[in-house]
Structure 1
């Protein structure tokens, strides 16, 4: 088998860890935040009623949808607002973060090849009782199929084994979708690509996300400087947190994925506690931020579809929402040198559960190399009175917002028949903290 072709020209291979690019360039690590904003904007934009004026303004922000092989176009838009029902049945959506967007300038680094450095596949079950978001490492090696070129000038040749983040360069969003479908066996009905600026706008629309850090994080590449404890992140600071790779775990993309899941789980707890999913004003801001900063597939290029998706999720139990990493290992040889090699057996088990709409739990110690379980708050006793929030230890998670769904600080639920041992990730109900690099 031939070595993997390096299309990014940014490999920095170190045995045992999937590294990505010369240390002086770190714009790709920021793309994870884009995926995050995509999941928020597309999957969580929901409300019982959309006013006519808001629907019209949001629709005006949408550009032309991207044509994706196998995905149907959205139905014709209506210019009136109405109460919308929840999405019927299940759906699978892919959100992609690219490492450079021509419209955002060079503030995140000089541009060369465009790579799909963040890929999150979200599946919601047909009965809306469980959901799984799978983060696919950008250096996971997989076949890249022949893809239609975005300009309609033909197709690119198929490739036997390449890092998945080269798919965008072969055929844009459509090629990433086709590659992920081949990798997972799932039918992707909706897809979107997100920009850096969208992360800032959408985190501002939400009002910030409280994130726990086990020990101080300092990353000179992204500019992130966080003390131990819980900090509410929004705007550029949220972007810095989601971009950081050298500041968390072992400095690899795999560590970054588990750190990002700390943000994602807290995000879902926050929007449920703050009733974001039923606030027309907040959802309106989210929808506009999404429409202005994302490329949407033709199937998703309609605000009504976003609203219906969000309504399907608003009552979803947090302990039935899992954020997991696509199973893979580092330290391989040949085409896998410096890359991520799929763990096929575990991946097959994961996607069999997802296809069957079956919920599952994660095994002990599953949080990954970039995060850890948050310390449990002590139970107040007569001898040890409860302390006010200001007196909490630095590493403790933020106190629960009144009315928020209950979350757990345990590493995972006890092993049961539905446990998938070996998966890295966490449920949305778990409170976790990002682990600083080298800790």
Structure 2
């Protein structure tokens, strides 16, 4: 399925390893914005874009090599299957957070794929530490001078080499997916977006303590918003084995909870909430030109708004430890090809793999009945039920994740 595997030398260019700075904790703040955009899209709340027409018109846009025409006025759906890539940038340029770091990396890489019958939505996360082939790309600002293809490079360098189109081309090259739509999100709206929804309810079976992100949460149920939501999404050393894959699985706990919350009638019936969430996202985004259109957003919302929670799945692209790059990952091509084939087929599938540091099967702490925001160090309960996704195809355990219906908990740090 992959167009070019990065495990061997490329005839187009030798192995090239750039010197990438270590991502600071702030670099992962964009994940909450990606979460919000996914939740808005999957809940059907993207119709709020009609109310923010001026914002849509002012969004920065970019051309992709695959840039099909946007939908026609009056269309209520997008025809057939489609994929959208969402990239989280860690650039400080023009942002309110300025810690002296420079450059720009794609520290978050998600692909949303909607099946041809519009009954299934899958969000695939690709670890930033994944070493893989990067195709030849123009400069990040569309310069005519192309960077040469690289047979093996860290995924989060693609944005630095060739901007959003290069990040898209890199994932297309790995998976074989055609990705005609894409968005890039900065982290300036993190606090505003998490506050717009009033916080997201998550549970912890064990405490999370991470001094690098200044996060200290007790076991129990929490409603995360503002700074606490930001800290929870960016924590790495406080969950699982302290690696990027554990951080992704922890984020999936948050994302699935946010989708469930946004699909609730109470949330979507509040126009102030929907408007504030859409505004916070649109003010901090760059979109492919065919997405920066009210008709497209309305058609997108109409396409996905009725997808059942059991058919919205969050998965990690399967990887293993890199054989000679400590702390880096290499693609599991066999399991990865199976994942992409199942996703493209539109078949129902069951996720058997559980991310490190995540607890499934309803093992949530008992609801203590409190109703305080975690920003004020309070907690908020959840119902403790769990619904497993069901389907004829069983994915191997090397592919971890969960459905949006799975009410999972973070287990804190499990491996030292």
TM interval, shorter chain, is: 0.7 to 0.9
Counterpart among 343, 348, 353 of residue 342 in structure 2: 353
Partner Cα distance (1:35, 1:48) in 2: 18
Counterpart among 54, 57, 64 of residue 57 in structure 1: 54
Displacement of 1:152 in angstroms is: 2.7
Q: Check 1:389–1:420 CA distance in 2 against 1; reply closer, same or farther (3 A cut).
A: same
Q: Check 1:144–1:425 CA distance in 2 against 1; reply closer, same or farther (3 A cut).
A: same
1:244-281 alpha-carbon deviations (Å, 9 max, x no partner): 11111111111000000000111111111244445543
Counterpart among 369, 386, 397 of residue 409 in structure 1: 386
Contact kept, 8 Å, 1:141 with 1:164, in 2: the verdict is yes
1:4-26 alpha-carbon deviations (Å, 9 max, x no partner): 5033143xxxxxxxxxx5xxx33
Contact kept, 8 Å, 1:46 with 1:278, in 2: the verdict is no
Q: Does 1:398 align with 2:375?
A: no
Q: Does 1:132 align with 2:122?
A: yes
- Match for residue 383 of structure 1? none
- Match for residue 3 of structure 2? none
- Match for residue 368 of structure 1? 355
Counterpart among 182, 190, 196 of residue 173 in structure 2: 182
Displacement of 1:104 in angstroms is: 1.3
Q: Check 1:285–1:106 CA distance in 2 against 1; reply closer, same or farther (3 A cut).
A: closer
Displacement of 1:73 in angstroms is: 5.2
- Match for residue 7 of structure 1? 19
Displacement of 1:355 in angstroms is: 1.6
Q: Check 1:372–1:305 CA distance in 2 against 1; reply closer, same or farther (3 A cut).
A: same
Secondary structure of residue in 1 paired with 2:61: coil
Counterpart among 360, 366, 369 of residue 389 in structure 1: 369
Partner Cα distance (1:433, 1:311) in 2: 31
1:290-317 alpha-carbon deviations (Å, 9 max, x no partner): 2101111111112332232223222211
Q: Which moved more, 1:350-359 or 1:423-432?
A: 350-359
Contact kept, 8 Å, 2:46 with 2:297, in 1: the verdict is no
1:102-138 alpha-carbon deviations (Å, 9 max, x no partner): 111444x322231101101000112221111000000
Displacement of 1:239 in angstroms is: 1.1
Q: Which moved more, 1:245-254 or 1:67-76?
A: 67-76
- Match for residue 381 of structure 1? none
Partner Cα distance (2:364, 2:209) in 1: 26
Contact kept, 8 Å, 2:16 with 2:153, in 1: the verdict is yes
Displacement of 1:413 in angstroms is: 5.3
What TM-score results when the alignment is normalised by the length of structure 1?
0.81
Contact kept, 8 Å, 1:45 with 1:286, in 2: the verdict is no
Secondary structure of residue in 2 paired with 1:27: helix
Q: Does 1:118 align with 2:95?
A: no
RMSD: 2.9
Contact kept, 8 Å, 1:91 with 1:125, in 2: the verdict is yes
Secondary structure of residue in 2 paired with 1:197: coil
Secondary structure of residue in 2 paired with 1:247: coil
- Match for residue 404 of structure 2? 428
Partner Cα distance (1:389, 1:374) in 2: 21
